[in-house]
């Protein structure tokens, strides 16, 4: 029997705003399958986002949903989680939202290791505002504000998260659709701050400026550059040139923030 996505979609809220060929819908379906596989209770699950194309995702889903301000999703989500630690908190957003204007909140949420999952839908561009370069736009690429090629170096989101202290970091792509739900499910199950970066495509504002002839070409690129972590172990640095590792990149067990705060409450009540 086909998977019933509608169970999790708010009636009357589709169609979504995303352009034909955009990978955000693929990721949303992956998130739904992940939530379904874990049996997360709708009433006990908050989905929080910032601003941008990706951040419109929560409005379509039938959970406690919070569409916040540009870059601030992780900080709002922190407030929700502190007030109700028993809730599952999932943050979704784009690369500009999460690593530029929201970069400070992102790295500090990583550092605190507060129990939530941050899904970064990385399409290398500010799509909603018309294709300005983001911290994840590759050097040399064309964007509406880099007409002569992007002079900026790009962030490696996964490395940023690991460096900042996230205790679970995974990467997938919109092409590898069936892997997305597994990565998200594992991330949500992890006790601590988990990051799932999903490489995505924006044919409308990135592809057309960077000589991609079709959405299929953009998707095929994601297929070609992705190398599973296990496979990468057997490859030489030359062979890994231009490739991007996918799968679970990092995982460690560390004290989780709200659990540690519960101990603070115990100490305060005990007068110690």
- Can you give the binding site for other proteins, defined by CB under 8 A? 10, 13, 42-44, 46, 48, 51, 58-59, 62-69, 72, 75-84, 86-87, 104-105, 107-108, 261, 264-265, 267-269
Least distance from other proteins to the Cβ atom of residue 208, Å: 27
Query: Phi and psi (nearest 5°) for 245?
Result: -75, 140
Pick the closer one to other proteins by CB: 1 or 268.
268
3-state DSSP helix/strand/coil percent for the chain, to nearest 5?
40, 20, 40
Least distance from other proteins to the Cβ atom of residue 195, Å: 17
Pick the closer one to other proteins by CB: 13 or 159.
13
- Which pair of tokens denotes residue 65? 């949903």
101 and 71 in contact (C-beta within 8 Å)?
yes
* C-beta atoms surrounding 214 within 10 Å: 11
Look at residue 55 and give its three-state secondary structure.
helix
Pick the closer one to other proteins by CB: 129 or 144.
129
Pick the closer one to other proteins by CB: 52 or 172.
52
Least distance from other proteins to the Cβ atom of residue 78, Å: 5
* C-beta atoms surrounding 246 within 10 Å: 26
Pick the closer one to other proteins by CB: 66 or 141.
66
Least distance from other proteins to the Cβ atom of residue 18, Å: 15
* C-beta atoms surrounding 82 within 10 Å: 12
- For residues 28 and 181, what is the distance between their CA atoms, to the nearest angstrom? 9
Pairing of strands 45-49, 64-67: parallel
Least distance from other proteins to the Cβ atom of residue 67, Å: 4
């Amino acid at each position: 029997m086909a998977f019933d996505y509608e169970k999790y979609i708010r009636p009357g809220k589709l169609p979504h705003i995303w352009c034909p060929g955009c990978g955000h819908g693929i990721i949303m379906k992956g998130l739904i399958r992940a939530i379904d596989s874990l049996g997360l209770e709708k009433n006990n699950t908050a989905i929080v986002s910032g601003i941008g194309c990706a951040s419109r995702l929560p409005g379509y889903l039938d959970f406690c949903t919070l569409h916040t301000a540009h870059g601030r999703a992780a900080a709002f989500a922190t407030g929700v989680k502190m007030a109700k630690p028993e809730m599952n908190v999932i943050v979704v957003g784009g690369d500009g939202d999460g690593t530029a204007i929201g970069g400070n909140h992102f790295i500090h949420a990583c550092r605190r290791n507060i129990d939530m999952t941050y899904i970064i839908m990385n399409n290398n561009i500010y799509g909603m505002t018309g294709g300005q370069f983001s911290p994840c736009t590759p050097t040399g690429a064309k964007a509406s504000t880099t007409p002569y090629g992007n002079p900026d170096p790009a962030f490696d989101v996964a490395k940023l998260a690991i460096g900042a202290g996230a205790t679970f970091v995974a990467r997938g792509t919109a092409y590898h659709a069936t892997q997305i739900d597994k990565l998200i499910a594992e991330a949500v199950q992890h006790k601590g701050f988990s990051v799932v970066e999903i490489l995505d495509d924006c044919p409308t504002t990135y592809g057309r400026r960077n000589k991609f002839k079709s959405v299929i070409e953009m998707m095929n690129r994601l297929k070609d550059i992705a190398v599973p972590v296990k496979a990468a172990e057997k490859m030489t640095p030359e062979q890994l040139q231009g490739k991007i590792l996918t799968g679970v990149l990092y995982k460690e067990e560390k004290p989780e923030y709200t659990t540690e705060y519960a101990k603070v409450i115990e100490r305060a009540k005990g007068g110690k």
